[in-house]
A = this chain, B = another copy of it.
Amino acid sequence: MAQITSPLPADKQKIVGEALHGALIDLLDLSLVGKQAHWNLVGRNFRSLHLQLDEIVALARNGADNAAERAVAVGVNPDGRAATIARDTHLQQLDFGYIEDGKVVAVFTEILGGIVARMRERIEATDDADLVTQDLLIEVTEELEKQHWMIQAQR
């Protein structure tokens, strides 16, 4: 079976692989939890949040795809299977059922805040290991911090 050779030495590949796996799980679960809120949302701000959550889901899906393809490009197998997400996610999970708009703002402020903090650790971790990966993480972090602000602003 084909082996994808890595442009990185083994130690750097390991660091990069861990950073990308962490980003992948954060972003994939953000896409799932974002849709869960998009569907179960109620409250006077329903329409604005319903639309904003879809922007967050789009950003999460796109970021996850970039992270996973970056992983395989450096010879690391991405793992975005449902059981892996459920096992490895750090995101606060939503309760089953309807969720009010104010609650969505509070929860996603926390969720995005947590992802951003972990992304910043990954940016630091990859600074010596791989500037190409770091650049990819910087770009998605900029978008996440923008959404973090725009959710917080609604409190």
Contacts and interface: CB of A to CB of B under 8 A. Distances in A.
Contact of A142 (B70, B116, B153): B70
Interface size class of A (residues with CB under 8 A): 35 or more
Contacts of A155: 2, 42
A42 B3 CA distance: 8
Secondary structure class of chain A's binding surface, majority of residues? helix
- Please tell me how many copies of the chain the complex holds: 12
Contact of A46 (B46, B113, B127, B154): B154
Interface string A45-76: 11111111000000001001100111111100
Interface of A: 1-5, 7, 28-29, 32-33, 35-36, 39-52, 61, 64-65, 68-74, 77-83, 85-87, 89, 93-94, 96-98, 100, 113, 116-117, 120, 123, 127, 131-132, 134-136, 138-139, 141-142, 145-146, 148-150, 152-155
B132 A142 contact: yes
A98 B75 CA distance: 10
A147 to B, nearest CB: 9
